Each structure stands twice: as structure tokens, then as C-alpha cells.
Amino acid sequence: MSSLLFPRWTNTVSRLTAALLLSLPAVAIGGLMLYVRSPLANAQSHPVEQPFEFDHRHHTGDEAIDCRYCHHMVEESSTAGIPSTTLCVSCHAQVWNKSPYLAQLREKFFTDQPIPWVRVHNLPEYVYFNHSIHVNKGVGCVTCHGRVDQMAAIYQKEPLTMAWCLECHRNPGPNLRPVEFMTSMTWQPEKDPGLRAAQIQDLTAKYDVHARTSCDTCHR
């Protein structure tokens, strides 16, 4: 007759339970670190519904309207700017001026109210970002915003995390293009590695681009 109070297999259970309890904090922290870097936490790839059915594929793609027509402050201000009611009506007084889809736009215009656009790319308040410095240094719109000419409703294409921004700030060359193609959705860099390297070198020198990784670059 055995004198053991508990069966031997309970030792194994005890060890496994202790290991599980000790590993739970590490698993929880690791899970949170993965979550905050995931598209779900970063609001990626979720089309944002706007007050009007504004289709970027039609305006930017079919009609080839330059980004700067609606986002007119992008070259000279920290913010890109959003289209005003007057700007929209300046086109739609001539085109689709009787469309029921634009009834709310006409109402906003005649009552002198702004369009309540819903923000898509929303950085934390402690992050300083200046659109003008980026586009004037050769960083194209598509680099951060993706192919908006293929989006019915705009969504956040990139994670916009600190790690993502620093990856470019450490080595901005691969994201540079001639400023005259800043708003182009279809511009492609040189495919030949040697030619691309020369192109990056020329653009870096031309626009006086330097790596910027100091904290006060983005946190002011």
C-alpha cells in the first residue's frame, strides 16, 4: 500500500501549472505588443464613411484631378487642408448640379455651413507632422496614403506607427521622387539597381535630404 498522500502525476500537474502562471504576464505583454502593431489597432484598411459619397477613384483616377486641388495647403502648411463647401460647389455647379446625391452639399452651401468631413489619418496629439516639408523634399502622396485613385472610400493604408516613420527617417532615399511627380499615383522609380542608386543620390543631394531621428523632430 502506497504511503504517498497524492499520486505522482500531481507533481507534473503542479509544475505545469506553475510554469503557466509564471508565463502569463509575458504572454499578456507580448500579446499587447503584437496588438498595438496590428492593422486592427492601427485602424488600417477600414474605409471611412464620409457625409457624402465621394469616390476618389472617379475624381483622382477617372477625372485626373490633382491632389492639390482639394488639399490645397499641402505644399506650404503642416496640414494638407480639406475641400471647402465652396470648392466642391465650384465644380458641381457645372457638373451633376441637379443630382440628388449632392442635395446635402447644396444645402450646406446655401446655409454657409462647412462639410463635416471625417478624419482618416489621425496621428496622436504628441506627434508633430508637417506635410509641406515631406512633399517639398520629394516624398510623394502615395508613400503614406497609398493608391487613393483605387479607393472608393479612403482608408489608412500604412500603420503610421513610430517604427514605420523611423524606418523612412533613417533611410529616406528609397521613398524619394522628383517633386513634379509628388501627386502622381503611377510614378515608378528606376528599376535598374544602378540607375536607382544614382537617382536616389541625385534626389537626396538636390532636395538636401538628411536622416532625421532625433526625438524633437516629431515630438515638440
Q: Is 156 helix (H, G, I), strand (E, B) or coil?
A: strand
Q: Are 39 and 102 in contact (CB under 8 A)?
A: no
Q: How far is CA 200 from CA 86, 104, 132, 164, in A?
A: 40, 47, 20, 20
Distance of alpha carbon 27 from the chain centroid: 29
Helix (H) or strand (E) holding 150: none
Per-residue pLDDT tens digits for 197-218: 999 999 999 999 999 999 999 9
Taking only Cα atoms into account, the Rg of the chain, rounded to an integer number of angstroms, comes to 26
Q: Rounded to a whole number, what is the distance in angstroms from the first to the last CA of the chain?
A: 76
Q: What pTM, to 2 d.p., does this model score?
A: 0.80
Distance from C-alpha of 101 to C-alpha of 180, rounded to nearest angstrom: 34
Per-residue pLDDT tens digits for 143-172: 999 999 999 999 999 999 999 999 999 999
Q: Please tell me which residue, 60 or 9, carries the higher pLDDT value.
A: 60
Helices 103-110 & 85-92 angle (0-180, nearest 10): 120
Per-residue pLDDT tens digits for 183-198: 999 999 999 999 999 9
